[in-house]
Amino acid sequence: MTEAQRIFSGIQPTGYIHLGNYLGAVRRWVDQQSEFDSFFCIVDLHAMTLPWDPKELQERSVATGAMLLACGIDPTQATLYLQSHVPAHSELAWVLSCIARMGELRRMVQFKEKSKGETESVGVGLFTYPVLQAADVLLYRAHGVPVGEDQRQHVELMRDIATRFNSQLGEVFVLPEAWIPAAGARIMSLDDPSSKMSKSANRPNSAILLEDKPEVIAKKIRSAVTDSGREVTASPDKPAVTNLLTIYSVLAGESIAAVQERFVGKGYGDLKVALADVVVAALSPLRERYEELMADPAETARLLAIGAARASEVAATTMADVRRAAGLVPPA
Ligand code: AQP
């Protein structure tokens, strides 16, 4: 039997997991975990790149673990853990920050967006976090990185850093590939279809959270902005309706054309009512499992510790090769 290819992906515990995270990443992790040697990481160190509340970070880290389990991540199949429990992530990030170049980090769109032009006063971590992200993936010598569209540039950067390390110091790293889904790779905000649905948007009606109750989901969808015109069709001049149709299509497992067909002669209001039903049907079982798991956070913490032990073993092997290649003397 050939060994399963390895995949790695992460999620920040910066807030509440939303439908964009689910469709762009988490749902696919669940589908892929039996086929690949899967590492799914709650990247708590990344959650420190903008000012944070320590108590909230602690709570959200375990709650994110519980939500991933509720979504169907199976700790007997996948390695699920907290990034800070495996110190090799930070160690490798330092080594790679000596390989990465200022110019390539400056080009990162997320840095430009999140620093909002305040490049002198934001934390250094916001600038260097793509290097930590490169370390996250390269540490496990993962082939595939199942992510949403927003992470494409960061995966390109990790390939560049890995290539440079391998050619300067010796072949240590596998070059990872971004695995971006054909549909659902960029779910947009409900209140602004020009910006992606995001945990850090801090606008209550912009994102559907996986833990939202049915009435909240229906209300958010009812208040979603729509476009001019009346026809329920996906097109570049109808970004809001296209977004709603995309969500419907991915969750219902039907093509956009088939979904459009359902709404011939109907209006945006009809689409919103039907979409709310589809979203509630998909998310209610997750929310119920999540509420059960949150009644016993110690159990989630225990499962995360088991994942960290497995991740540490794999990380140690890579770090031994990195140290050797970099010329760091092993402890006597
Ligand atoms: N809107 C989205 N559509 C599809 N996929 C998405 N992802 C994020 N947003 C969308 C994918 O979800 C995974 C986890 O990403 P994250 O933890 O960075 O989530 P976020 O919502 O992007 O979180 P933040 O805190 O708001 O971060 P920023 O502001 O950096 O985006 C990834 O695979 C991501 O592609």
Smallest Cα–Cα separation from 14: which of 201, 154, 180, 191?
Answer: 201
The pLDDT of 150-165, averaged and rounded, is 97
- How much is the pLDDT for 2? 64
Hey, what are 38's tokens?
């899967």
Give the largest Cα separation in the chain, rounded. 77
Q: pLDDT for 11-54, tens place per residue? A: 999 989 999 999 999 999 999 999 999 999 999 999 999 999 99
The average confidence (pLDDT) of the chain is 96
Average pLDDT over residues 220-240: 97
Reported confidence tier of residue 201, pLDDT bands at 50, 70, 90: confident
pLDDT level of residue 116 (50, 70, 90 thresholds)? confident
DSSP output for 209-252 = BTT--HHHHHHHHHT----SSS-----TT-HHHHHHHHHHHHHH
Domains of the chain: 6-185+297-326 (3.40.50.620), 214-292 (1.10.240.10)
Instruction: For ligand 1, atom 12, name the residue with the nearest CA.
Output: 21
Q: In angstroms, rounded to a whole number, what is the distance separating the alpha carbons of residues 62 and 263?
A: 41
Q: Which residues, judged by CB distance below 6 Å to any ligand atom, belong to the binding site of ligand 1?
A: 9, 11-12, 14, 20-21, 23-25, 110, 147-148, 150-151, 185-187, 196-200
Question: 177-179 and 37-42: which strand pairing?
Answer: unpaired
Indicate the top mutation candidate among 40, 83, 198, 247 to test ligand 1's pocket, ranked by most ligand atoms within 8 A of CB: 198
φ/ψ of 125, rounded to 5, equals -60, -35
pTM of the model: 0.95
- Whole-number pLDDT of residue 200: 82
